[in-house]
Structure 1
Amino acid sequence: MRKRTFGMLAATAALAFTVSMAPPAAAEGNPPDCPKGYFCMYSGANQSGKLLKKVSGDWGGYVEGINSVFNNGNPCNGCDHVYFLHWPGIGNNYTRCFHFNPGPGQYKANISGAIGKGVKWGVNAPERASSGTGQSANR
């Protein structure tokens, strides 16, 4: 019994060591026309179709027909998250956080027919995260 328990513990420890030594997630390649350091909005799903807008800093405006987005930002303490304010067509504004590629966390998404209204770089959500008023979260 003791040998079996010891054998199971040794196997568990070996597995834990192997998992802890796994390499970190590799960054996904740059999507079309979206260089490192940019947040990009596309007309097609999965970063396809026309590049509608790319921004490397805070932005407030209006872009229709967004079907996918990608945060190709750089790792930066306090500035590698992007808050994307969009309107899904009918209803309230939504703010979603995207981490830089490759994460951890979501760094890209398909958003069917959204209207982009703002991008805010940083780790804190914008003041008007989901106001539903139609106002941009950016100044």
Structure 2
Amino acid sequence: MSGSPEALAALHATAFDAPWDAAAFAALLDQPGVQALVRDDGFILIRVVADEAEILTLAVRPQARRHGLGLSLVEQAAQTAAEHGAARLFLEVAEDNAAARSLYARAGFETAGRRPRYYARANGPAVDALLLSLNLSRPLPSGAGRAYP
């Protein structure tokens, strides 16, 4: 898969109910410090500013999930962020997204805060976002992400 805005948007659409379009990806990729780390069946988009980094989005094709790709991408993002001077890596995740929360817990992320009613839901009340952080000066948990080449 290429890292073009169109390719990222197409894959994002397979992974999210409210996907970002190619224009949104193009605008993000034009910003300083933003990088797309791309594999055939997934990608992670990060932004590094000074000594902090943020995971903007992580998308894995549904048929490729549960094989270690997501964790491998998170590890690659952590390594890339650290190489660019970041000491902490942050992200937001919907409180009701058990699969993503499990993935980030395996990678060593810890809850650092909450954004009430951050994620709108079409058929129900808005859901809180959990703000997670990872200290990049510590090694990742032993064995994390080793299943995916």
Flag the structure with higher helix content. 2
Work out whether the TM-score is over 0.5: no
Shorter chain as denominator, the TM-score bin is under 0.3
Higher relative contact order (CA 8 A, sep 6+): 1
